[in-house]
Chains A and B, each alone.
Chain A
Amino acid sequence: AQTVTQSQPEMSVQEAETVTLSCTYDTSENNYYLFWYKQPPSRQMILVIRQEAYKQQNATENRFSVNFQKAAKSFSLKISDSQLGDTAMYFCAFMKHGGGGSNYKLTFGKGTLLTVNP
């Protein structure tokens, strides 16, 4: 079974600064996906960024980037130039790669509540 750990229940950052959210995971799988999801207050959870485990290059989506360390089983999210709209709960999640059916279920961490202050 997989586990995902987010050790920071809450974080805050000043607008325009950079913040890094931590995530570690445990798995015996070799092929898998890692995700960061964002849930703004009273809104739906949306996918922020995805990383395939077989890819060495860290994923980047505009101001969001990850630091994926496969050997260390670490998957942190860096948000650059933080904006007020980045205030949200951020969830790190794991999914086994390939196959069908149950391989697509997500295993989540407890989440990190990020507040961006003006």
Chain B
Amino acid sequence: EAGVTQFPSHSVIEKGQTVTLRCDPISGHDNLYWYRRVMGKEIKFLLHFVKESKQDESGMPNNRFLAERTGGTYSTLKVQPAELEDSGVYFCASSHTGPGSYEQYFGPGTRLTVT
């Protein structure tokens, strides 16, 4: 079974540019989460999809961040325009529904550097 994959692994962009991060969850997992870790701080929840619907986007920092999950499969997280404080590691995780759904499987993360 393939794990959660994220692309790219590392992105370096200039302030004001746009970046799109992609997450492919484990096949069949309806739940998809985005988290972010800023250097030296906690990993913070950004949002949660159930299939294609946004269940909870309370952690999204501002309207420069747009997440989508068309068709309920992979998800994208777009940052436009990027700011310096957006630098960090963006993690995606997925889980199935039902018993054992507390366990989230994480991707390797995308390290975003905004210069």
Contact = CB atoms under 8 A, between A and B. Distances in A.
Interface of A: 4, 33, 37, 42-47, 50, 91, 95, 97, 100-102, 104-111
Contacts of A45: 91, 106
Interface residues of B, number: 27
Contact of A105 (B3, B56, B103, B107): B56
Interface of B: 3-4, 31, 33, 35, 40-45, 48, 50, 55-56, 58-59, 91, 95, 101-104, 106-109
Contacts, number: 60
Contacts of B35: 106, 108
A37 B102 CA distance: 13
Given A44-B108, A45-B106, A50-B103, A101 B42 contact: no
A26 B19 CA distance: 36
User: Do most interface residues of chain A lie in helix, strand or loop, or is the interface mixed?
Assistant: mixed
Contact of A101 (B43, B55, B106): B55
30 contacts: A33-B102, A43-B108, A44-B107, A44-B109, A45-B91, A50-B102, A50-B103, A97-B102, A100-B55, A101-B48, A101-B56, A102-B48, A102-B55, A102-B56, A104-B31, A104-B48, A104-B95, A104-B102, A104-B104, A105-B48, A106-B33, A106-B35, A106-B43, A107-B42, A108-B43, A108-B44, A109-B42, A110-B40, A110-B42, A111-B42
Contacts of B44: 108
B102 A95 contact: yes
A91 B103 contact: no
Nearest to A32: B102
B43 A91 contact: yes
